[in-house]
Homo-oligomer: A and B are copies of this chain.
Amino acid sequence: MTASTIACCAPIAREPLGETEAAELAVLLKAVADPVRLRLLSMIGSHAGGEACVCDLTDAFDLTAPTISHHLKVLRTAGLIDSERRGTWVYYWIVPETVNRLGALFAPLAEPAAI
């Protein structure tokens, strides 16, 4: 009873998702379902000041600049990050509203009571 009461608060376990919402969320999840994009997202989000220059991101990967740019574009198109050019460099930051939508979908779920 306690477990199901708490579990009720996680949208994924509260009621069946509609087709439209499921389709939108799947697009968002596909954007993050990649190791490089997850790492880029965490590097951007954890960077001092909450934003990172593309010049801060490339060194951690054994990938070409166009490949990194492609992954950043996927994250940006999904609305997970936004960017702005300032002089030579493009700066990226996380869009919390979009990331929060994923967090709200999956949490919190209680541990189940003994079954």
Contact = CB atoms under 8 A, between A and B. Distances in A.
Interface string A82-115: 0000000000011011011011111111111001
A35 B12 contact: no
A30 interface: yes
Copies in the complex: 2
A17 B33 contact: no
Given A13-B94, A96-B7, A19 B42 contact: no
A12 B109 contact: no
Interface of A: 3-4, 7, 10-17, 19, 22-23, 25-26, 29-30, 32-36, 38-39, 41-43, 45-46, 50, 60, 93-94, 96-97, 99-100, 102-112, 115
